[in-house]
Amino acid sequence: MTDAKTRGYNDMQDHLAALDAAGLLTRIDAPINKDSELSPLVRWQFRGGIPEAERKAFLFTNVTGGDGRVFDIPVTVGALAGNAEIYSVGMGVPVAEIGNCWSNAIANPIAPVVVEDPPCQEIVYEGADLTSGKGLDALPVPVSTPGYDSAPYLTATACVTSDPDTGIQNLGTYRGGLKAPDRIGLKLFMNLGQGGTAHWEKYRTRGEAMPIAMVIGCPPPVAYAAPQKLAKDVDELGVAGGIAGAPIRVAKARTSDLFVPADAEIVIEGLLDPEYFEPEGPFGESHGHINLEEFNFILTVTAITRRSNAVFTSIISQVTPSESSVIKRVAYEPLFLNHLTGHLGVRGVKRVAMHEPLTNLRKVLVIQFDRSVARTEIWRALYGAMSFQAPVGKYLIAVNEDIDPDNLDAVFWSMSYRANLAEDCELMRHRPLGHGPKSGADEDATLLIDATLKADMAPVALPKREYMEHAKELWEQLGLPPLKPEAPWHGYELGDWSAEWDTLADRAAAGDWISNGERSHQQRRTGVEPNTDIRNVGDDG
Ligand SMILES: Cc1cc2nc3c(=O)[nH]c(=O)nc-3n(C[C@H](O)[C@H](O)[C@H](O)COP(=O)(O)O)c2cc1C
């Protein structure tokens, strides 16, 4: 028997307890139908005007099926990444430290350690067991998009595969639609550089079926490493160890030579056919559209192993924001920042933000820069971010530090007044289509926009900070409705301002506008056109 202390990290059940203790878990004991009710219920959390910070993980303890079946395995949704705070509990660091935690783990992986008698194999079903009510049909796998999806889908997977030449393992989150008690339709993208795809290509060349293990309910560091996009041939289990600060315990699978996370809740072992494919989908995708039926991979199950008290984990994906986009956002943003500042050595990059609602992160990237940075560095970052990952970067926009990259209103403000599209915009052709609904096009393009300041600009037209702060106190004393300050909520300077204008403004705020009027009277003149900046006129008038 192991616990979090001896292991050095939480398993999924410790994680649920930690979420509960932090007030981040909603437990539903009422009977809920996994095929028609469960996903729509959790969906309201993402489409019902609930702010990200108030989202919770759900634990359903009384799960039924569309056919009347009652399941003895509870289902949790949103427990990995319902919001950034839930994710930070799983990472074991505050939200602000998630980026650093990823960088350290990637730089300092800790190799897994092999153990015997793993919890994930407390119960083992193999051979004839799999078709006698103990196969996939015994698992409470939800239908994600009732009304469109053709099957219950495994979504919170860490799929283990191995390179047949090197033995290096890969983890990836790939979806699996149930087809029979011992058969899954698996989607591996062929154009996103998936590790599992590269391994399967090698098995296909050999004419052999590829061993695969779909692991569900992993310890959170493992669950987070699976959808992370790491360099080719980096074993995500080592990086997960880097996050946990301890080696991840692994055990040999029952029916293959793969090593699976020993502390997982459920493991589905199987073989991917090298030659035959069958229709898979329709299934709701994270680009916000239904992925229509395609020929995809056939996984024949060879064993299902699990804990005796297993909990089933599902991820809510489809239209973003969703758990699927949060899990990627918090992991991918630091990866891009590291690439630009670390690998490329671009100076002055402050943040990389991926736009999440509806667009799903990969299409719109905003890069925030220090004001002092040279224009050539800004363009190095734009070109670098554009080519880092094939599916990422359709629109890339550079902004200054005062623009909140998560606020598209502010980004459009910057694009509107700080970019001259004839000078500050490049269209780059021939980008791969990446992740998106099929549209008939063969390829896409990238639009790069430098929306940073090219010259000093007049101040932001809001009262100076001290006036706004004083007014906030007044507002509160007057008992007016509570405020949630939205940046920008006070004026600030962008370089084009003078001490003399400060004097005029101070006088006006002190009620002495008459003195300002006398000053302008003294400067009265002829020989200028209306709207002429006073600095463009000499003293000759
Ligand atoms: C909830 C979720 C579902 C995903 N489903 C799939 C999928 O079905 N197929 C796929 O190829 N990638 C899918 N992805 C994306 C991959 O997990 C991601 O690209 C990851 O980097 C793959 O790991 P790899 O590069 O080690 O193969 C999904 C990601 C998430 C978060």
Residue 335 has φ and ψ, to the nearest 5°, of -65, -45
Q: pLDDT band for 334, please (50, 70, 90 cuts).
A: very high
Q: Which of 489, 472, 464 is nearest to 407 (CA)?
A: 489
Indicate the residue type of 414.
S
How far is 463 from 520, CA to CA, in rounded Å? 23
Token couple for 88:
């930070």
Q: pLDDT band for 540, please (50, 70, 90 cuts).
A: low
| Candidate from 171, 174, 178, 388 with most ligand 1 atoms within 8 A of CB, to mutate | 174
| Binding site membership of 155 for ligand 1 (Cβ less than 6 Å) | yes
How far is 232 from 229, CA to CA, in rounded Å? 9
- Give 15-47 pLDDT, tens digit per residue: 999 999 999 999 999 999 999 999 999 999 999
Grouping H, G, I as helix, E, B as strand and the rest as coil, residue 494 is strand
Among 168-172, 242-246, 535-539, where is mean pLDDT lowest? Answer: 535-539
Which pLDDT does position 7 carry in this prediction? 96
Grouping H, G, I as helix, E, B as strand and the rest as coil, residue 343 is helix
Q: Which of 180, 182, 163 is nearest to 172 (CA)?
A: 163
How far is 7 from 196, CA to CA, in rounded Å? 28
Q: Are 242 and 108 in contact (CB under 8 A)?
A: yes
Residue nearest to ligand 1 atom 22, measured at CA:
172
H helices present in 219-322, as ranges: 220-225, 236-244
Using DSSP bridges, classify how beta strands 25-28 and 57-60 pair: parallel, antiparallel or unpaired: parallel
Which pLDDT does position 191 carry in this prediction? 85
Indicate the residue type of 42.
V
- Give 35-85 pLDDT, tens digit per residue: 999 999 999 999 999 999 999 999 999 999 999 999 999 999 999 999 999
Q: pLDDT band for 335, please (50, 70, 90 cuts).
A: very high
Among 115-119, 227-231, 433-437, where is mean pLDDT lowest? Answer: 433-437
How far is 90 from 79, CA to CA, in rounded Å? 9
Atom of ligand 1 nearest to the CA of 328: 31
Tell me the angle at which helices 84-91 and 98-107 cross, rounded to the nearest 10 degrees.
Answer: 40
Q: Are 76 and 15 in contact (CB under 8 A)?
A: no
Atom of ligand 1 nearest to the CA of 194: 27
Prior bond of 247 cis (ω within 30°): no
* Buried/exposed 131-151: b ≥16 CB within 10 Å, e otherwise: eeebbbbbbbbbbbbbebbbb
Measured CA distances, 104 to 119, 241, 243, 337 (Å): 29, 11, 8, 13
Grouping H, G, I as helix, E, B as strand and the rest as coil, residue 26 is strand
| Binding site membership of 157 for ligand 1 (Cβ less than 6 Å) | no
The total of other beta-carbon atoms located within 10 Å of residue 209's CB is 20
Question: Residue 174 Cα, ligand 1 centroid: separation in angstroms?
Answer: 5
Measured CA distances, 143 to 76, 109, 302, 316, 317 (Å): 14, 36, 23, 10, 11
Measured CA distances, 447 to 3, 347, 444, 452 (Å): 50, 22, 10, 15
| Binding site membership of 328 for ligand 1 (Cβ less than 6 Å) | yes
Q: Is the pLDDT of residue 440 over 90?
A: no
Which pLDDT does position 119 carry in this prediction? 98
Torsion angle of alpha carbons 533, 538, 540, 541, nearest 10°?
Answer: 10
Question: Residue 227 Cα, ligand 1 centroid: separation in angstroms?
Answer: 5
User: Would the CA dihedral through 135, 138, 141, 142 be positive or negative?
Assistant: positive
Angle (nearest 5°) at CA 134 between 131 and 135: 60
Q: Is the pLDDT of residue 541 over 80?
A: no
Prior bond of 321 cis (ω within 30°): yes
| Binding site membership of 198 for ligand 1 (Cβ less than 6 Å) | no
Atom of ligand 1 nearest to the CA of 229: 21
Residue 342 has φ and ψ, to the nearest 5°, of -85, -70
Q: pLDDT band for 324, please (50, 70, 90 cuts).
A: very high
Residue nearest to ligand 1 atom 7, measured at CA:
174
Q: Which of 372, 428, 418, 423 is nearest to 398 (CA)?
A: 418
How far is 404 from 153, CA to CA, in rounded Å? 37
Question: Residue 173 Cα, ligand 1 centroid: separation in angstroms?
Answer: 4
Which pLDDT does position 438 carry in this prediction? 82
| Binding site membership of 172 for ligand 1 (Cβ less than 6 Å) | yes
Atom of ligand 1 nearest to the CA of 198: 27
Question: Residue 478 Cα, ligand 1 centroid: separation in angstroms?
Answer: 52
Q: pLDDT band for 194, please (50, 70, 90 cuts).
A: very high
Question: Residue 76 Cα, ligand 1 centroid: separation in angstroms?
Answer: 20
121 DSSP assignment? G
Which pLDDT does position 255 carry in this prediction? 98
| Binding site membership of 185 for ligand 1 (Cβ less than 6 Å) | no
Question: Residue 55 Cα, ligand 1 centroid: separation in angstroms?
Answer: 23
* Average pLDDT over all residues of the chain: 96
Question: Residue 461 Cα, ligand 1 centroid: separation in angstroms?
Answer: 45
Which pLDDT does position 203 carry in this prediction? 98
Which pLDDT does position 64 carry in this prediction? 98
Atom of ligand 1 nearest to the CA of 156: 1
| Candidate from 46, 173, 280, 296 with most ligand 1 atoms within 8 A of CB, to mutate | 173
Question: Residue 199 Cα, ligand 1 centroid: separation in angstroms?
Answer: 15
How many angstroms from the chain centroid is the CA of residue 351?
Answer: 15
What are the chain's domains?
4-314 (2.30.110.10), 344-450 (3.40.1670.10), 465-527 (no CATH)
> How would you class 408 by CB atoms within 10 Å of its CB: exposed for 0-12, middle for 13-18, buried for 19 or more?
middle
Token couple for 402:
């005062």
Q: Are 75 and 314 in contact (CB under 8 A)?
A: yes
Grouping H, G, I as helix, E, B as strand and the rest as coil, residue 355 is coil
Q: pLDDT band for 539, please (50, 70, 90 cuts).
A: low
**How is 376-429 classified by DSSP, letter by letter?**
HHHHHHHHHHHHHSTTS-SEEEEEETTS-TT-HHHHHHHHHHH--TTTSEEEEE
| Binding site membership of 410 for ligand 1 (Cβ less than 6 Å) | no
Which pLDDT does position 132 carry in this prediction? 80
Question: Residue 157 Cα, ligand 1 centroid: separation in angstroms?
Answer: 9
| Binding site membership of 134 for ligand 1 (Cβ less than 6 Å) | no
How far is 312 from 73, CA to CA, in rounded Å? 7
Token couple for 450:
């430098």
Which pLDDT does position 288 carry in this prediction? 96
- Give 373-422 pLDDT, tens digit per residue: 999 999 999 999 999 999 999 999 999 999 999 999 999 999 999 999 99
DSSP H or E run through 508 = helix 499-509
Grouping H, G, I as helix, E, B as strand and the rest as coil, residue 238 is helix
Residue 481 has φ and ψ, to the nearest 5°, of -60, 150
Question: Residue 158 Cα, ligand 1 centroid: separation in angstroms?
Answer: 9
Q: pLDDT band for 430, please (50, 70, 90 cuts).
A: very high
Which pLDDT does position 131 carry in this prediction? 86
- Give 459-473 pLDDT, tens digit per residue: 999 999 999 999 999
The average pLDDT across 315-340 equals 96
The average pLDDT across 502-526 equals 97
The average pLDDT across 138-147 equals 98
Question: Residue 229 Cα, ligand 1 centroid: separation in angstroms?
Answer: 9
